[in-house]
Amino acid sequence: MKNILHYSNKNIGLLGLGTVGKAVYDEIFTNISSVLVKNLTKSRNIELSNVKITNNFQDILQDKNVETIIELIGGETPAYEYIKESIKSKKNVITANKEVMAKYGKELLELATKNKVFLLYEASVAGGIPIISPIIKDLSANEFKSVRGIINGTTNYILTKMSRENLELIEVLKEAQDLGYAESDPTSDIEGFDAQYKISILSRLAFNSDVSLDQIYLEGISSIKSKDFDYANELGYTIKLLATASINSNELLLVKVHPALIPNDVPMASVNGVLNAVEIDGDLVGTLWFQGAGAGAKATASSVLSDLIRIRNSDVQSIVNHKKTYKITSMDKHFCQYYLRLNVSDKPGVLASIAKEFGERNISISSVLQKDLYENGSADLVIMTYPSIEKDMQASIKKITNLESVFNIESMIRVESYK
Q: Which residues are the active-site residues?
A: 198
Burial class (CB in 10 A: 0-12, 13-18, 19+), 90: exposed
74: left (phi over 0), alpha (psi -120 to 50) or beta: left
H or E stretch including 155?
helix 153-165
CB of 204 to a copy of itself, least distance (A): 10
Q: Which residue from 1, 180, 326, 402 is in contact with a copy of itself, where contact means CB under 8 A? A: 326
Residue partners of 411: CB distance under 8 A and separation at least 6 = 339, 340, 341
Helix (H, G, I), strand (E, B) or coil at 53: strand
Q: Does 325 bind a copy of itself (CB under 8 A)?
A: yes
The footprint of a copy of itself on residues 73-132 (CB under 8 A) is 113, 122, 128-130
Q: Does 374 bind a copy of itself (CB under 8 A)?
A: no
Q: Does 199 bind a copy of itself (CB under 8 A)?
A: no
Q: What angle do CA 185, 225, 147 make, to 5 degrees?
A: 70
Q: Does 273 bind a copy of itself (CB under 8 A)?
A: no
Q: Does 253 bind a copy of itself (CB under 8 A)?
A: yes
Q: Does 71 bind a copy of itself (CB under 8 A)?
A: no
Q: Does 414 bind a copy of itself (CB under 8 A)?
A: yes
The footprint of a copy of itself on residues 142-171 (CB under 8 A) is 142-143, 148
Helix (H, G, I), strand (E, B) or coil at 341: strand
250: left (phi over 0), alpha (psi -120 to 50) or beta: alpha
- Crossing angle of helices 153-165 and 169-178, rounded to 10°: 120
Q: Does 1 bind a copy of itself (CB under 8 A)?
A: no
Q: Which is nearer to a copy of itself, 61 or 243 (CB)?
A: 243
Q: Does 256 bind a copy of itself (CB under 8 A)?
A: yes
Burial class (CB in 10 A: 0-12, 13-18, 19+), 335: exposed
Residue partners of 9: CB distance under 8 A and separation at least 6 = 31, 65
Q: Which is nearer to a copy of itself, 166 or 270 (CB)?
A: 270
Q: Does 46 bind a copy of itself (CB under 8 A)?
A: no
Q: Does 208 bind a copy of itself (CB under 8 A)?
A: yes
Of 373, 366, 365, 367, give the one whose Cα is nearest residue 347: 373
347 phi/psi in degrees, rounded to 5: -130, 160
Q: Does 290 bind a copy of itself (CB under 8 A)?
A: yes
Number of residues that bind a copy of itself (CB under 8 A): 111
Q: Does 266 bind a copy of itself (CB under 8 A)?
A: yes
Q: Which residue from 1, 323, 352, 404 is in contact with a copy of itself, where contact means CB under 8 A? A: 323
Q: Which is nearer to a copy of itself, 13 or 130 (CB)?
A: 130
* Cα–Cα distance for residue pair 358/365, rounded to 1 Å: 8
Q: What angle do CA 201, 148, 132 make, to 5 degrees?
A: 40
CB of 42 to a copy of itself, least distance (A): 25
CB of 122 to a copy of itself, least distance (A): 7
The footprint of a copy of itself on residues 375-404 (CB under 8 A) is 380, 382, 384
Q: Which residue from 107, 264, 289, 359 is in contact with a copy of itself, where contact means CB under 8 A? A: 289
The footprint of a copy of itself on residues 217-246 (CB under 8 A) is 217, 223-225, 227-228, 231-232, 234-235, 237, 239-240, 242, 244
